[in-house]
Structure 1
């Protein structure tokens, strides 16, 4: 069984490793010089930066990749549990730590907003029920695609458990049901941005983030999260995956309605029994498939689909240290509702954005020279549109971000900068073929969108499968890993005769 994987992000690596471990001959083509997708690295003058995720959650989803090859994640990388999930910095100068220990977090909330600790306990209980009800049918499986005709008894049971959570309620509804303090409401409404969505338009099911953080744990990988990508590359090669970097794919070869291989930009053609695509689903439909091969996704329909937010990044190597920073920090907007309105209604970056600041050197001094810090700054602007021109306005937006952080306590930040790199949605679009620079593929606004994402199995082309944040079950490292796990299982089931017994 020959399988071609397009793209070496987490989804592509996950699928490729698990298919090779099952006996398939796998070749992976990556357009960039390194695999990893958004999980990547940049360095300069002794400063080292992860350019994507900075913490790791849902370890079980990653560990399943290693287990498929008879290995363990914990043996491949040095995992460090973070004592503080995040430190929240408020415009009035107040701060709130979110300790990883549930009892300590409850005490921190009780001291910050007396009386809110009871709502926090109920919120965590709700989040756990969400995880229990959604992990198997919606994360480990594609529930919408798995129902053929009348649901089975098991599927009816899963559906009843899911509907009992009232998924049509928004995240804002759920948060406000549990908290009355406006600052805590802002903190937990930010969960929507973890999927690039609006809290008043996305499902309350995203409260599951609280369960992921407090019950399942938040981790850092010593040396940076790109160490995970390096470990996956080593594992892939150990199980026989052939990885070819700097090899952009021009077209998916389709014959008689079936994927038969790929044509590279350099003209080379490679044939296989199945193709796994780790490019954004709608972008791949438009750029890699001929029109006659995509009747379900005409261009006009794809262009109208709402995307998630994008990202604006500043990677700053700075002299000195900021003792007020934890490993991960969030500097909140003075008006979160206005920020969401700017992003989702006006399609422009907010004038006062919430800024995430990761300072890995707090946990791992090897990330910066002695006495220095590596700061990863991220905001959540909308995906590319005509409402904002990044080629002209990026520099002024950088000033907005730096002004905000200096005003909120990072004194003299500009003067301390030693090295800097700036990424806008244009960079994300070009580096990762991300449609309109969206980080998480499609928006999860509307409760159906969170669970009925583009399927892993292509409905138009037999033998073509999709993995990554643009398809089921969603964006973020663990979910992309699960997309690869799901595809490896589905592909083997659909091509059982071609796999070794």
Structure 2
């Protein structure tokens, strides 16, 4: 099958997964990445000679990578060192209110009971059971399905199971059925932001994220970017060619199908198929030429999910016992998400996430600055409205003030801090406005409206966090696998009807 050549645009997790699986099946694979290194949104930055994860920081659904590597004849444990996190996240509301969620449901229930009372503990157990039931339906019927529909999900699990999925209630409404304490609704409502959404508009189906985390949050030794490097090395070992620092400007078409790509320097690479590991918005905006633009529906790229302002830094830490994952809540979720989605502005009282990358599983040795990634959600307006230096400084002041309310004091310097804003993410991922999760999943139908692996242009396939099954590292990997499965099925179908010589001198299709 080396005669079948596939060009992959973009070296994010979806593209790398596709490269690995195609190379393992014997195809001639060339992956082209615009940046200097692979990883896409799974990026890292180096400050003071120390690498800091500046993209995704949470590794869940390990089974996805176990399956993908097994398909390629490898084992995850031979290439990554993973440690299960005992504390999923540490949460704080000021200095007096603190709550840890644990990998063990009983430990979390006890902690919630001590935090908010016995009814809250019971509500949490019922919430966990509901999240488990939702996940049991959605994994086979949605996550693993190439093109799910509401009807296919309903038929797969039955009407009772579909009712458990709770597609017609918002996440915020469903949380009210389990938690009377507004702080707990605020905490679990944060799961909507994992998809770049608002808990006031996202479906209650997202409760399944609670079950995903309880099934295992893993700490990756060496940082999350090790996952991208692992996929690259495995793909190259199986024959894939990976080029970085090269930009694809056009997907070429001949005979009504994708036949190659053109690079910014004019080089043309011919191929039998193309996988674009890029945001659908980039194709719809014409960044890869008119033929690719017509291959996707423009309606499939809006509305946009959230962007972010991030601070990757080396900082001295005092006053708060950070764990690996920490969340500091502002005053009110309704105001925060109204600022983000209704007013398209940075919130005055943001929730702040802090990933302390030198912590987890023990005390951090005092005496040197720590590697931190701090994040606040932001509107995806990086292509038409760029917060100025004053607005970013005010956002930073508000975030630091919130951390200080919880007792956390950070000491850093400009040379030890790298700030990325929505406009910065727009430059990294053009045509997105800085949206980090594709389109939003507001409303019960939105999850089913994401673009799938196939397109209107034969020979062109899509992968990435903006493609079905959705945002997040494991989902992006799943999208790469789905693109490979769709491509291989199409190649098999094409070969089944190859031209052949028949007696009498006639060529039959």
TM normalised by structure 2 equals 0.90
Matched residues in 2 for 1:105 and 1:77: separation? 28
Residue 120 of structure 1 aligns to a residue whose secondary structure is helix
Q: CA deviation at 1:323?
A: 4.8
Determine whether 1:218 maps to 2:250.
Answer: no
More displaced stretch, 19-28 vs 429-438: 429-438
1:340-489 pair list within 5 angstroms = 340-363=337-360, 371-384=368-381, 388-392=385-389, 393-411=391-409, 413-414=410-411, 419-433=416-430, 435-458=432-455, 460-489=456-485
Q: CA deviation at 1:195?
A: 0.5
Residue 121 of structure 1 aligns to a residue whose secondary structure is helix
Aligned residues of 1:3 and 1:272 also touching (Cα < 8 A): yes
Structure 1 residues not aligned, in runs of 5+: none
- Tell me: CA distance 1:5–1:378, structure 2 relative to 1, closer, same or farther (3 Å): same
Specify the alignment match of 1:45 in structure 2. Answer: 48
- Tell me: CA distance 1:247–1:385, structure 2 relative to 1, closer, same or farther (3 Å): closer
Residue 445 of structure 2 aligns to a residue whose secondary structure is helix
1:130-161 deviations in Å (ceiling 9; x for gaps): 1110111211113347x9xxx78x98334643
Matched residues in 2 for 1:366 and 1:488: separation? 43
- Tell me: CA distance 1:251–1:494, structure 2 relative to 1, closer, same or farther (3 Å): same
Q: CA deviation at 1:122?
A: 0.9
Q: CA deviation at 1:313?
A: 0.4
Matched residues in 2 for 1:480 and 1:166: separation? 24
Specify the alignment match of 1:33 in structure 2. Answer: 36
Residue 436 of structure 1 aligns to a residue whose secondary structure is coil
Matched residues in 2 for 1:36 and 1:191: separation? 24
TM normalised by structure 1 equals 0.92
Residue 311 of structure 1 aligns to a residue whose secondary structure is strand
1:65-98 deviations in Å (ceiling 9; x for gaps): 2111111111111001111000001136310001
RMSD: 2.5
- Tell me: CA distance 1:132–1:333, structure 2 relative to 1, closer, same or farther (3 Å): same
- Tell me: CA distance 1:294–1:45, structure 2 relative to 1, closer, same or farther (3 Å): closer
Aligned residues of 2:253 and 2:291 also touching (Cα < 8 A): no
Determine whether 1:117 maps to 2:124.
Answer: no
Q: CA deviation at 1:292?
A: 5.4
Residue 461 of structure 2 aligns to a residue whose secondary structure is strand
Given candidates 37, 58, 76, the residue that maps to 1:55 is 58
Q: CA deviation at 1:298?
A: 6.7
Matched residues in 2 for 1:320 and 1:302: separation? 43
Which structure: larger Rg? 2
More displaced stretch, 136-145 vs 375-384: 136-145
Q: CA deviation at 1:102?
A: 1.3
Q: CA deviation at 1:295?
A: 4.2
Specify the alignment match of 1:185 in structure 2. Answer: 185
Matched residues in 2 for 1:277 and 1:158: separation? 33
Specify the alignment match of 2:145 in structure 1. Answer: 141
Matched residues in 2 for 1:332 and 1:98: separation? 15
Aligned positions, number: 490
Aligned residues of 2:383 and 2:432 also touching (Cα < 8 A): no
1:3-32 deviations in Å (ceiling 9; x for gaps): 110000000011111111112111000000
Determine whether 1:265 maps to 2:264.
Answer: yes
